[in-house]
Amino acid sequence: MIALKHIALFVGGTLFGTAGFKLLKSKDAKKVYAHTAAAALRAKESVMKDVTKTRECCGDILAEAKLINEEKRARSDADACIIEDESGEEQ
């Protein structure tokens, strides 16, 4: 009885698999694959546009940060060059 059950499961699985392969090779299935691939390509394109836009914004932020640091460094250097008269005498 157990052997018959195993044989029936094997035969059923083989038939199901054969029908599945035929279904996967059909024209309708190929259309579904093509539409799915096209949607994936559109999604990729959209994501790449967003990534490019984000990179550009990050580049702008980085350039502005470097400019701020250069300005602070220049002010710091200018402040270091000022020599104060510590004698307290007015001239």
State the DSSP string of 3-58: HHHHHHHHHHHHHHHHHHHHHHTSHHHHHHHHHHHHHHHHHHHHHHHHHHHHHHHH
* Cα–Cα distances in angstroms (integers) from residue 77 to residues 67, 72, 85, in the given order: 15, 9, 18
Count of domains observed in the chain: 1
Summarised one tens digit per residue, pLDDT across range 21-67 is 777 778 888 898 899 999 999 999 999 999 999 999 999 999 999 99
Given a cut of 60, is residue 82 above it in pLDDT? yes
Range of the domain at 57: 23-79
Q: Give the pTM.
A: 0.49
Q: Which residue has tokens 């060059």?
A: 81
At residue 86 the predicted structure's pLDDT band, cuts being 50, 70 and 90, is low
Which pLDDT belongs to residue 56? 94
In a domain, 29, yes or no: yes
In a domain, 27, yes or no: yes
Given a cut of 90, is residue 69 above it in pLDDT? yes
**Three-class DSSP category at 87:** coil
